[in-house]
Amino acid sequence: MKSSGVIDWSDLEERFGGDRELIEAIAQLFLEHVDRQISELSEAVHSQNAEAVWQEAHRIKGSLAQVAAREGQELAFELESAGRLGDLSQSLPLLDRILAVVHEAKAEFLRQLR
């Protein structure tokens, strides 16, 4: 599997013992749920609801960590922290960057796991 892009494929292989079927199952779960998670995060950011922002950012951070999308995980952590502090001044740019990572992660999974 390729190691460039937003997914750390070598980390996935190491964590799941090279079990391609398990990696595919994890990827499928990510693909099934990430759009809803992004929608909920986007709604929280656009409504400037700090509590909802940190909760939804925390959820997507976990999803991105599970699929070894480190950049997205770090961005979600930043947004989660901002929500916890009630400072959403950078929430829209962070959301845009998270959306870009999620879009690329989805594309990588679809390319790699055909």
Round the average pLDDT of the chain to a whole number and report it.
Answer: 95
**Inter-residue contact 110 to 5 (CB < 8 Å):** no
- Tally of CB atoms within 10 A around 25: 12
Residue 61: the pLDDT is 98
Residue 4: the pLDDT is 62
Residue 3 in this model has a pLDDT that exceeds 60: no
What is the model's pTM?
A: 0.92
Residue 49: the pLDDT is 98
Residue 30 pLDDT class (50, 70, 90 cuts): very high
Query: In the predicted model, what is the mean pLDDT of residues 85-110?
Result: 97
Superfamily of domain 9-113 in the CATH hierarchy? HPT domain (1.20.120.160)
